[in-house]
Structure formats: C-alpha cells, structure tokens
Chain A
Amino acid sequence: MSDLRPSLDTPDVAAAEVAVAVDAAGGGPRSGRRSPRAMAARRFRRNRVAVGGAIFLVLILVVAVFAPLIANHSPYAVDLGAIRQPPSGDHWLGTDASGRDVFARLVYAARVSLLVGVAAALLAVVVGTLVGAVAGLFGGWIDTLLMRTADMMLSFPNIVVVIVLAGLLGPSIPILVIAIAAAEWPTAARLVRGVTLAVREREYLHAARVAGASRGWLLRKHIVPAAMGQIVVVGTISVAGAILSEAVLSFLGLGVQPPQASWGNMLNDAQSLTVIQSMPWLWLPPGLAIAATVLSVNFVGDGLRDAVDPRQSGRS
C-alpha cells in the first residue's frame, strides 16, 4: 500500500540505538528484567583476578581501619637505643632509623596512603566529570578552553605538575591530594566529554529537551548516568595512579611529612646503598605494600571495565 503513495516520509530507523538498548541490558534477548548495573555486577563477579584484587583491597582496608588493634607498638614511639633492628619477636618487621616499629608504621601508613589515593582520585573524577560534561554539552569556545587546559595538564609529566604545586604551596596532605588530583583530572574529563558528545546526538536527549529539561537536568539525569560506568573505571585506575604519586612525592619529601607514616615516606630510609643491600625490612614491606595495592586496584579497574563495557574485553 505504501509504495503506491507519493514519495512521502520514511522513518528514521535508528538501528544503532536499538543495539545500545540491547547491549546496555547485558547483550542478548535473554537478559530479561535485569538492570544494566546488575548485569555488570554479575560479569564482575565472574572475573577471578578482579575479585582477588577486590578481596586484597578489602583486607588492606580492614588493616587500615583497625591499625591500632593490629599493631603491637605505637608507630611514633622513638627508641634511639634500638635503631635499624632486624625483625624479631617483639618488632615483627624490625625498627627504622629512629627505632620506631616498622610493622606499626606499615599498618598506620595504609591509612594515609589509601586516604590520599582515594581522596585524590575522587576529586580528580568529580572535577574531570564536571569539566568534561560542560565542555561536551556547551561546545564552542568553552569546550576549546577547557579541553586545551586538560591537554596541557596531560602533556606535562604528572610528577612535574605535582612537584611544582607541592613546592609552591608547601607539603601537607590536603595540598598533596589537590596536587595529585590536578594531574589526574584530565583523563576523566576527556572520557566524560567523549561520552557527552555521543549521548548529545541521541534522540532521547533531544526528547528530554523537548520535555523541558535544562542543561543541568540533562547532565544529571542522562549524561552523568550514561558515563557512570566508565567514570567508575577511570576513578579506580586513578586511585592506583594516586597511590603511586603519593609514594613518589613522599619519598622525595614533598608529600606526607614525618613523623606521620606513609608507604612513600617509609621508603625515604632506603636512600642509601647499605640500607638497600643489608636492611631489606626497611624498604621491602612498604615497597611490597605499594606494589600489591596498586596491582590490586588495577585488577579491579580492569575487571570493572570489562564488566561495564563487555565489547572492550581483552584490552589492557
């Protein structure tokens, strides 16, 4: 019947959107009533490496929270009569250059290192999400300005940005967090801008405008939720980067200041060859703690990425 009529409208069949809908629900007609989030959680749980990483992180978190119950010494008690003692029944991981218990410092340092890592990543992701969404949604010169700034931050070596900021503003934990976040936010901004540009072309966003939505509403109700999965992934991986940055900066004396312990400043003692060669209890525990935590965070991040976007599985 329709081919007998004059050449009238043909529907805009957006096959792509149908694919998105199916994919978002878990990729398949059998996905039933599950929400996209539940499907992602199920995919994550099937990933052994990621689950292993998550379990390790929970363990570290428990240690950090219950540090006073776990350590058998104060991390600050100086004993100049017993410096750089090897591990013993009393000092499980020996003592440092001031005679402080290394094990106690290690578990207390977990608090600081995790706190700095998570806070910096959180700040970076929040700022990056806001910047990326605004850039993508407004476009024009606002986009250019914001993204050129992000590019500039990205083209600096992270560590230089952090050193300059820490050097300018003086070392303290809040400054450390801000400095690390300043180096990390462009990654999140780029990602969220990309998602915003893609979502902006979707008919449902246009439909939301037609229904009276403001830009702020589109941001809160459509763009940020659409990017949320990837934001979580980037945020997680940023935690790893932030923990490393904390370690490097504290190692260089620009981060967490003694007597407060962080994994980074515990490595401070390992600056001489004699220590490295003959006193492994001073640098091996914090070094291993950093490596294992960063690795676990990255495993979890990769697992989340695969769970959120199964099409990208296998990418490193």
Chain B
Amino acid sequence: MLNIKNVSKTFNLGTVNEKAALKNINLMLEEGDFVTLIGGNGAGKSTMLNCVAGVYGVEAGNIFIDGKEVTKLPEHRRAALIGRVFQDPMMGTAASMGIEENLALAYRRGQLRTLRWGISHQEKELFKELLSSLGLGLENRMTDKVGLLSGGQRQALTLVMATLIRPRILLLDEHTAALDPKTADKVLELSDHFIEESGLTTLMVTHNMRHAIKHGNRLVMMHEGHIILDIKGEEKMNLTVEDLMQRFGKASGEEFANDRALLSE
C-alpha cells in the first residue's frame, strides 16, 4: 500500500546547516498494516511522514502509494490518498470556520472544487449523525467555530476529517502528545476505532512506548535517519517495554538511558 524506496532527505543541502534527516530509508506497508513508529527526538519520524505527504520533496528515492508513484506529486494532489492528523491540535482544522464547514472541506478531499454550494443539506445531516455516533458531544454545535473547541475535541474532529473520505494511508504524527493523558487515551481509542472499522493502512508516530506496543500490528523504530528495528507479527504481540529498550540499545549501539526522548512508558 505504501512503499518508501531508498528515500533520502537532507535539509539545507549544501549549506553549513546541512542536516541529513532520512538516510536511504526503505519501508513497505501492506494493505491494512497499522505501524507504530518510535524513535528519539530528531530521529526523522516527522520528516518521513512529511515526505510521504509531500510537504517536502526528497532528493533521492521513490515513494509509491497504492502502486502509484507520488514522489513528484505536490502536497495538495497527494491529499486525495492521505489522511493526516498533526501533533498540534491547531494545525488540522480551520479555526474560524464552523465544525460542519470543516467537515465539508474534508468531504471534498481529492475532488475538483466548483461553484456548487460548499455544504449541502444531506451533508449536514450526515455529519451530524456521524458525530453523534461518536459521542463527542459535538453534534449540537455543528455551526460553532472550531476555534471554540478544546484541543482534544479539535484533534478528534481532525481525525474524523482525515478518515471521512477513506484514505489509502493514514498518517498520525504524535497526534495525542499535546493532550492530557485521559483525553489522549480517548483520541487513541477513537483512532483505533476508525482504523479497525475501515481497515486503514496507518503510520502512527508516538513517543510513548506503551502505546507503540499496545496499538498496531507492527512496530518500527528510527534512529538518526535510519530504520533500526522492524518488529511484526507474533513478536510484536509479545513485546514488552523492557524488550524494546534492550533491542534499541543493541540496534543503535548506544546506552538507552542516554536517549532522553524515549523516556515515557
């Protein structure tokens, strides 16, 4: 479903600030794979997701989604295939537009936008039903500006928007990191719900090892622009936090305790 082949990405190429963020990355996701992606600060996780989404171009390698090469496709064209939720709850929605207006924007992802009315009556009903089935308490605030919602509500809404039109790939970049633990769990639960319901191929970045182990069918770890671990199947199901720490130590050749970023359990 997603195939990242020999992809390299260097920021500020040819300047003193040159920074190789991805070094010849190879990663292949099968249809329905739910991969959790962990790694320390600056490991290149966000860069990888952004390269898949087309936020950045890559200087080497190819990216395929659903068999189609997208390496040169601009971000807004790739959006037809990709659903995204970001770390910052402000980033995924338009704050000064209403809840239903935001959903209507997402409902047209990948379609040509015309001079038809931006939201139809049927859509309003549909969105309302959808939100009330999720129990977010938003179904009676459909015309409220999204800026009035809490971070957790905005993140839940972004998740609904990302999956409203079934994406070929769902990219979640630490989408619960900015939320308090209880809200984070709720949003994660909601993510699981959507992913299971439609069998979405998903790449989820997290700093929380417990989450990385509990969710998904496959765990990938990055370190300094490389993929250093790829654990799937039964091995993944039986994984513990201790295992993971040990294997990270071996694979990265560093003492795990030195990596401040992987602290949270």
The answer to whether A and B belong to the same complex is no
